[in-house]
Amino acid sequence: MDDFVRIVEVGPRDGLQNEAQPVSTADKIELIRQLSLTGLRSIEATSFVSPRWVPQLADAAEVYAGIERRPGIAYPVLVPNEQGYDRARAVGVEEVAVFTAASETFNRTNTNAGIDESLARFAPILARAQADGVKVRGYVSTVLGCPYQGEVAVSEVVRVARALHDMGCYEISLGDTIGVGTPRKARAMLHAVAAEVPMAALAVHFHDTYGQALANIDACLEEGVRVVDSAVSGAGGCPYAKGASGNVASEDVVYLLHGIGMRTGIDLPALATTGRWLAARLGRQTGSKTGKALAAT
């Protein structure tokens, strides 16, 4: 089995979108510049959602136009609809991501649409992206629990993931949005989805609300997944999931992966330095235990 794991760094988008204090456009561009020098191959740059819903990312076009896109690195962005796709393409975006949930209630709260309505919205985006040569990634939220309805049926996770893959998404990220998953549940969910969608087309995205993210990732690695979403310094959270803590820290994920013999191509000290820089800009300590440990040595 391949021992290379691709980290999808979501800090500039998922990590910053819920920050209460404005983060300057210059700092967002600098964050992406620093991340681009660490060996990461995929850095989610921003989101072309309505500024009314996510004011922190109102400068999406300026951020994307201002970054230096380095060879060998993908800089995907999130788009909620065709208007977002238009805005993204206007500044040269070459990879986008669409997002829905496995929970009907969560999806209506998050996007003002049911799951099937969201999937219908994505159809023209996928068609246009195929014609434009643009890659599309799909996100499925609340795969292990919902803040509104509690348990989420694994069958719904499978249905939504399969629908996105069938529509043309090259990769499906399975997200534990509120961080309630445990290793056994995470493994069972991934196994069920992989029966319908190739494991090579799956990624996992864990929040660390109950401190289970690394254990969940390890369980999913044993199941065969080789793509992991994470955010430098453990930044982020979900604006529609009250109490959900940040994403698992990229530094901690890389430390785990290197410790179990997996390859990432990432310079861990450089990544930790970037994480501490971001934390300082946000006025807090880094959310990465690895980052703190490396700073103390």
Question: Tokens standing for 219?
Answer: 């369980």
238 is catalytic: yes
CA distance 3 to 102: 30
Q: What's 233-252 look like in SS3?
A: HHCCCCCCCCCCCCECEHHH
What number of other Cβ atoms are within 10 A of residue 3's Cβ? Answer: 12
Rounded to an integer, what is the distance from CA 94 to the centroid of its chain?
17
User: Which candidate in 146, 169, 220, 238 is catalytic?
Assistant: 238
Burial class (CB in 10 A: 0-12, 13-18, 19+), 262: middle
User: CA-CA distance, 175 to 31, in Å (whole number)?
Assistant: 23
Active site residues: 238
